[in-house]
Chain A
């Protein structure tokens, strides 16, 4: 601190905070303020002439009353996707951290590889995989897993599958970092003390990987709740999530106030849930 003050002078703190503060003010604070004021404006206006700020708190009640099924559906789909990601991701991250040997780097690169293509293109290619006359559906029908008139595309299964696929890397990477840090000798020591494989996992590996679990679930659940691409491309009108509703209210219905109110509700809800979750998991120092 002292040496920094010598270099930057007395106002070192301002100078150091400055760039980030300006950035956040421009691209976070402004949009947030704009969103909040719009959410309290009179919906009688229109986007061309603007909206009058009338502190209309009913916007929130109306948004919640009209669109709560979308909020619930978002939480449900994102929740299922997060659990699936955790199960799939944990196994893979464990394998990479402890069993991959010299393939470790290759496997990590493979986990990140999907990021080299656009999110949108990857989701669209799922449309091909899940297509009604595609090989997957035909095979499932032949195996009597799907009924004769069954389908995958435009069902909740497709949406959840898409979410799981798209957010899986965000689960694997934090899990891997946590698992990789665990000293294998701890596991061996537990074995020496006659702990069964299950006990070793439950008492040694799992608790030590908790930071990764919390980080991974947050990185998966939060964006998955707000996602609308998967529901838009893989779902049907009956599987729309809250992101789709917000998008439709902004672009199609031109109802900015209710769209903003719904956005704020979503944000508040997620922040509240995250805080509760992190408290429960006992890892506040992560945030």
Chain B
């Protein structure tokens, strides 16, 4: 370091500093120009050009993304449905519980799907409205009916033919479920309504709600006396104000995905908006799930094969396998969500007769009468509501 040459001195032989900077800037501008030209063309990919060749014949693999706590697990002598599928089909399944929130998952995969690039997943599970959005964007492959006879035969009637996929050409329900209230009875007395969640003083700072806008706002709308499947902007605004007030007052501790169940068991929260099966999966006798006085929200989560999923036939084998009533009953006995498979109830007699009349798994018509779906929203309305909701939750 003793002989530091002043930069100007090197100019005559080498490159001047100014030259270097101009060169660099020009290079950067060039690259940037190419980049922005490339940008204009993006996003317009359609499913037909984008579907990949199915490698299922040569690769016995399947990559599945699902929600946490949504499948049975090996336990001593008990073999999970997943393990049995791998054994009988010879397909190696990489099962990842990495869907914790529809919008978040969408944010994770939209760039790849939009640019027609693989996401590394052959099958993922998303809630109705998000499934509709993805099918609408041409990002989902059509299922080959010949490969999924069980789906055709055994899908329960209430889940057949939704407006966004009338023939179930693109989607197969994984499980259905309810959004209601859960509370920890070792900490507080019964929490029977959404209004209590929002206002009861012994729950202050001990309540969580879901980051899923339709689950949380569905219940808030019910508490507002509105119908979540058909509400006005005013009603939406009032329900949102209620939520904002509870948040600012410190009544609501957090907005969460599946992780609320740990906090509920640990006593960090006393009551929350919850999904029906989670409480059973937690296997903690202090935790109770109940339908709020105002009513329940109902939804279903759907298996979808994305356009760049390279193991579609394997994914269809998986779907067909889970539509076998015996398999469906085994899964339902573990996850405690509404089973979408006809005939599973009869199979349940053999597994656990006490669950046959459990309304969370096999709801009766009476039970379903108190449930509500969330209104279908167009893209502009959906993003407006999501934004309103995000302004309150985060």
- The residues of A with any CB-CB pair to B shorter than 8 Å are 1, 5, 10-14, 17, 21, 25, 29-30, 33-34, 37, 46-50, 66, 127, 131-133, 149, 151, 153-154, 236-238, 240, 244-245, 247-255
**Is the beta-carbon distance between B267 and A253 smaller than 8 angstroms?**
no
Q: Is the CB of B390 within 8 A of A131?
A: no
Q: A245 touches which one: B27, B248, B379, B394 (CB < 8 A)?
A: B394
Provided the pairs A25-B28, A46-B379, A47-B110 are in contact, do residues A131 and B267 lie with their beta carbons within 8 angstroms?
A: yes
With a cutoff of 8 Å between Cβ atoms, the chain B residues found around residue A49 in the complex are 43
Q: CB of B74 within 8 A of chain A?
A: no
Query: Are B247 and A238 in contact, with the CB atoms below 8 A?
Result: yes
- Over the window 126-140 of chain B, the binary record of Cβ atoms lying under 8 Å from chain A Cβ atoms (1 yes, 0 no) is 000000000001000
Chain B residues near A5: list those with CB within 8 A: 13-14
Q: Are A237 and B247 in contact (CB under 8 A)?
A: yes
Of the candidates A1, A11, A37, A240, the one having the most CB atoms from chain B within 10 angstroms of its own CB is A1
Report A-chain residues with C-beta under 8 Å of the C-beta of B391.
66, 253
A selection of 5 A-B contacts at a CB cut-off of 8 Å is: A5-B13, A5-B14, A237-B255, A252-B101, A255-B390
Q: B386: which A residues are within 8 A, CB to CB?
A: 252-254
Measured CB to CB, the nearest residue on chain A to B384 is A253
Is there contact, CB below 8 Å, between A253 and B387?
yes
Return chain B residues, CB-CB under 8 Å to A14: 15, 20, 23
Report whether B394 and A13 are in contact in the complex, using a CB–CB cutoff of 8 Å.
no
Q: Does residue B68 face the partner (Cβ distance < 8 Å to A)?
A: no
Among A29, A131, A254, which residue has the most Cβ atoms of chain B within 10 A?
A: A254
Q: Looking across the interface, which residue of chain B has its beta carbon closest to that of A244?
A: B394
Minimum distance in angstroms from B3 CB to a CB of chain A: 9
* CB within 8 Å for A248 and B267 given contacts A151-B205, A154-B253: no
Bound CA span A158–B10, Å: 56
Chain B hits for A153, CB < 8 A: 268
Q: Are A252 and B247 in contact (CB under 8 A)?
A: no
B237 contacts the other chain (Cβ, under 8 Å)? no
Instruction: List which B229-268 residues lie within 8 A (CB) of chain A.
Output: 247-248, 250, 252-255, 266-268
* New contact pairs (9) apart from A50-B42, A252-B107, A255-B383, CB-CB < 8 Å: A1-B14, A25-B31, A29-B32, A30-B35, A46-B383, A48-B110, A248-B394, A251-B103, A255-B387
B114 in contact with A48 (CB, 8 Å): yes
State the interface size on chain B (CB cutoff 8 A).
Answer: 48
CA distance A48 to B389 in the complex (A): 20
Contact of B107 among A11, A25, A244, A254 (CB under 8 A): A254
| Contact residues in B for A1 (Cβ distance below 8 Å) | 5, 10, 14
Check B141 for interface membership: any CB of A closer than 8 A. no
Q: How far is the CA of A48 from the CA of B107 in the complex (A)?
A: 10
- In the assembled complex, B381 has its CB within 8 A of some CB on chain A: no
Q: Which of B23, B101, B268, B393 contacts A237 (CB 8 A)?
A: B393
Residues of B within 8 A of A46 (CB): 379, 383
> Of all chain B residues, which has the CB nearest A29?
B28
> A37 contacts which chain B residues (CB < 8 A)?
36
Question: Within the complex, which residue of A50, A244, A250, A254 is in contact with B383, where a contact is CB–CB below 8 Å?
Answer: A254
Closest to A134 in B: B266
Among candidates B13, B31, B35, B254, residue contacting A154 with C-beta atoms closer than 8 Å: B254
Contacts of B35 in A (CB 8 A): 30, 33-34
B212–chain A nearest beta-carbon distance, Å: 10
Q: Which residue of B lies closest to A53 (CB)?
A: B36
Does B104 lie at the interface of the complex (its beta carbon under 8 Å from any beta carbon of A)?
yes
CA distance A48 to B133 in the complex (A): 11
B39 within 8 A of A: yes
> Bound state CA distance, A255 and B390, in angstroms?
10
The residues of B that contact A251 with a CB separation of less than 8 Å are 103-104, 107
Question: Which of B10, B36, B394 neighbours the largest number of chain A CB atoms within 10 Å of its CB?
Answer: B394
Q: Which 8 A-B pairs have the closest CB atoms?
A: A248-B394, A253-B390, A251-B107, A133-B267, A253-B387, A252-B390, A154-B253, A132-B268
Residues of chain A lying within 8 A (CB to CB) of residue B247: 237-238
A21 contacts across to B, CB distance below 8 A: 24, 27
* Interface residue? B211 (CB, 8 A): yes
